[in-house]
Amino acid sequence: MPANTSLAHLSDVLLVWTVSAYALAMLGYAAEFAFGRSGGSARAGRAGRAAVVLTVAGWVAHVASVTTRGFAVHRVPWGNMYEFSSMVSLVAVTVFLVLLARQPVRFLGAFVMAPVVLYLGLAGTVLYAKAGPLVPALNSYWIKIHVVAAITASGAFMVSGVVTVLYLLKDRWERRSAGPAPVSIGPGAAAAVEFGDTRVGGLMHWLPASAVLDRLAYRVIAFAFPVWTFAVIAGAIWAEQAWSRYWGWDPKETWSFITWLAYAAYLHARATAGWRGRRAAVLSLIGFGCLMVDYYVVNTVLVGLHSYAGVG
């Protein structure tokens, strides 16, 4: 069945609105920090709340973009790298909003929105693919199971990667400043935080203590890892149906497994060896690096059975 060009165009327009809303939200979160640093706590609070509203508005437009893309192509809207990238970004924003509803993590806003905007910008330009049918190898009900799990885990891993980088920056600053961690921090708090009798300002004071960031990264990875595990298993079952073997060390399969091993090592090290802090953070970033290789390098450079997932 041919694609509905009108709905496909509407999906593209909605994606532009989505990126615009996310970009403005990113600026709003940055303004919250800037106003807080200059002592304008009221303005900082307004900027932060406006950024959250823009994030939610962008999320709604994003959901609409994905939905109309699906109706336009008469299938699930994650059949190529463009659609997959859009879905991963949607999951990342969703994870952030869920965390925000449960914890005071508005400080993550600018840092989550920045890679999401870049990801969507890359998806809408370099990775863009016109609306069309699935290739035969993808035309299976397993695309609704395996790929959804991979998308969900990838979006969560993106958020954990952002938190891990922030942890390393905050931990390094705490070590160099040789001072105690902030007593308290909040999403609308000023950027200047009292350390003993000295008031200092800057981005590092806007962030919570490094231990808080370490725990947050761990919780997100602990959620994403079982989902990724299921994605790998479901992919093997799908491979048996498509190619009559569960595993063939195709580049995609290999790097998916390497990614699984990296995050498994992270969780194992924390659970058995008591790894916390920088050593665990290094494993987390190795896992995220493997995920990026699995997605970008494997799909665009290496040749294998999953080459159909590339641009086009």
Kindly report, residue by residue over 73-122, the tens digit of the pLDDT: 999 998 888 999 999 999 999 999 999 999 889 999 999 999 999 999 99
pLDDT digits (tens, 9 = 90+) for 122-154: 999 988 989 888 776 677 787 888 989 999 999
pLDDT digits (tens, 9 = 90+) for 198-243: 333 467 778 889 999 999 999 999 999 999 999 999 988 888 887 7
Q: Quick check: 43 pLDDT over 90? A: no
pLDDT score at 184: 46
Residue-range domain boundaries for the chain: 5-309
pTM of the model: 0.85
Question: What is the distance between the alpha carbons of residues 141 and 139, in angstroms, rounded to a whole number?
Answer: 7
Q: Are 84 and 309 contacting, i.e. CB atoms less than 8 angstroms apart?
A: yes
Band (pLDDT 50/70/90 cuts) for residue 248 is confident
Q: Quick check: 300 pLDDT over 90? A: no
- Mean pLDDT (whole number) for 163-175: 93
Question: What is the distance between the alpha carbons of residues 41 and 33, in angstroms, rounded to a whole number?
Answer: 9
Q: Please name the residues in contact with 249: beta carbons below 8 A apart, sequence gap of 6 or more.
A: none
Q: Quick check: 195 pLDDT over 60? A: no
